[in-house]
């Protein structure tokens, strides 16, 4: 059941600001009762083996001299959004598929990746000011951001509904009037479900009861427990939540409003952006890119051609 054409979904603002309160806090709860990351066993690891990447001299030569001299890229990240970027059990090491991908990019460029914690809404300004060389935190590319920074596309994601296995409350995303829906606070999914609820009201139907959570794991728990009927999240986040809870959850309908994620680079650093795009392309060509996405189970968002400042629909 495709819901991309739902009028309320179309009315939601296209700036997919998928952010986010802390997600890692509830991770242990799910890991204790889930599969091994491949749908087997009783415990899901929150990390995957690192893929070894050899430096490419030709790509490294594309990197501006100041970064080559430094030998590293300082990367602003809000590590609270599994499986894109989050903290390992030690509370300090950043992991996730976006992290693994960009560390592979840095490896191709013969650079180290130096991850710097940051509030999500401070990442772009940090790149603009020179505090960070790159921003990497599931940042969706849109026209507004392209006006102030360079962005390199490397993945796509949309919104995905999910519910208890079997959909016991018979939730229909096209008509969720009167249902209880969970979302994470301050995400585009809040606008989405609020628009749908307004449509219910306009049509004289019961409005949607919307419960907003600071952490996505809390929203997911509320579906597992039956407190809420369904939830909305970023596609890879929904898939990761389903994997963590074994067979207790399932997707509902198809993803919609898909848009590219992008690495954020200063507007004046076009050469660095081009080098990063070339490194992503090399990872796609040698199979490293697909290997990383496969390890994390997020290959549905794979792209074939990274680009600097790609055209995006608003």
What is the C-alpha to C-alpha distance for residues 97 and 77, in angstroms, rounded to an integer?
A: 13
| pLDDT above 90: residue 133 | yes
| pLDDT above 50: residue 8 | no
The residue extents of the domains of the chain are 57-157+259-301, 159-257
Question: Helix (H, G, I), strand (E, B), or coil: what is residue 1?
Answer: coil
Look at residue 119 in the predicted model and tell me its pLDDT. 86
Residue with the two structure tokens 């994997």: 243
Model confidence, pTM: 0.74
**Cα 47 to Cα 52, 296, 300, distances in angstroms:** 15, 9, 19
Look at residue 175 in the predicted model and tell me its pLDDT. 97
Look at residue 191 in the predicted model and tell me its pLDDT. 87
Look at residue 224 in the predicted model and tell me its pLDDT. 97
Domains 57-157+259-301 and 159-257 share a fold: yes
Look at residue 106 in the predicted model and tell me its pLDDT. 98
Q: For domain 57-157+259-301, say whether CATH 3.40.190.10 is its number.
A: yes
> Residue 187: which pLDDT band, with cuts at 50, 70 and 90?
confident
pLDDT tens-digit readout, 237-250:
898 889 888 889 99
The secondary structure of residue 308, as a DSSP letter, is B
Q: Is the CB of residue 135 less than 8 Å from the CB of residue 85?
A: no
- Supply the angle between the helices 235-244 and 216-224 in degrees, to the nearest 10: 50
| pLDDT above 50: residue 9 | no
What is the CATH topology of the domain spanning 159-257? D-Maltodextrin-Binding Protein; domain 2 (3.40.190)
What is the C-alpha to C-alpha distance for residues 236 and 251, in angstroms, rounded to an integer?
A: 11
What is the C-alpha to C-alpha distance for residues 120 and 139, in angstroms, rounded to an integer?
A: 9
pLDDT tens-digit readout, 14-60:
333 333 333 333 333 333 222 233 333 333 344 556 778 999 999 99
Structure tokens that stand for 23 in this block: 């997600």
What is the C-alpha to C-alpha distance for residues 234 and 187, in angstroms, rounded to an integer?
A: 9
Percent of the chain predicted with pLDDT > 90: 68
Distance of CA 185 to the CA centre of its chain: 15
């Amino acid at each position: 059941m495709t819901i991309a054409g739902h009028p309320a979904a179309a009315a939601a603002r296209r700036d997919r600001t998928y952010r986010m309160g802390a997600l890692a806090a509830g991770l242990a709860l799910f890991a204790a009762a889930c599969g091994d990351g491949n749908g087997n066993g009783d415990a899901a690891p929150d990390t995957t083996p690192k893929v070894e990447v050899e430096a490419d001299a030709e790509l490294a030569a594309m990197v501006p001299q100041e970064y080559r001299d430094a030998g590293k890229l300082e990367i602003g990240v809000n590590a609270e959004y599994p499986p894109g970027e989050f903290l390992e059990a030690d509370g300090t090491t950043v992991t996730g598929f976006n992290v693994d991908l960009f560390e592979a990019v840095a490896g191709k460029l013969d650079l180290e990746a130096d991850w710097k914690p940051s509030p999500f809404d401070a990442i772009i300004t940090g790149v603009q000011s020179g505090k960070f060389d790159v921003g990497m935190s599931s940042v969706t590319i849109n026209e507004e951001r392209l006006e102030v920074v360079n962005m390199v596309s490397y993945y796509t994601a949309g919104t995905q509904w999910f519910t208890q296995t079997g959909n016991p409350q018979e939730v229909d995303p096209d008509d969720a009037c009167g249902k209880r829906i969970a979302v994470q606070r301050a995400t585009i999914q809040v606008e989405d479900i609020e628009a749908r609820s307004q449509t219910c009201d306009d049509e004289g139907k019961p409005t949607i009861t919307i419960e907003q959570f600071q952490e996505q794991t809390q929203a997911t728990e509320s579906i597992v427990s039956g407190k809420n009927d369904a939830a909305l999240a970023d596609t890879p986040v929904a898939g990761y939540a389903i994997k963590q809870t074994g067979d207790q959850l399932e997707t509902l309908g198809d993803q919609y409003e898909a848009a590219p994620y992008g690495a954020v680079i200063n507007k004046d650093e076009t050469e660095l952006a081009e080098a990063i795009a070339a490194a992503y392309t090399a990872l796609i060509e040698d199979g490293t890119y697909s290997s990383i996405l496969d390890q994390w189970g997020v290959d549905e968002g794979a792209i074939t051609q990274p680009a600097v400042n790609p055209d995006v629909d608003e």
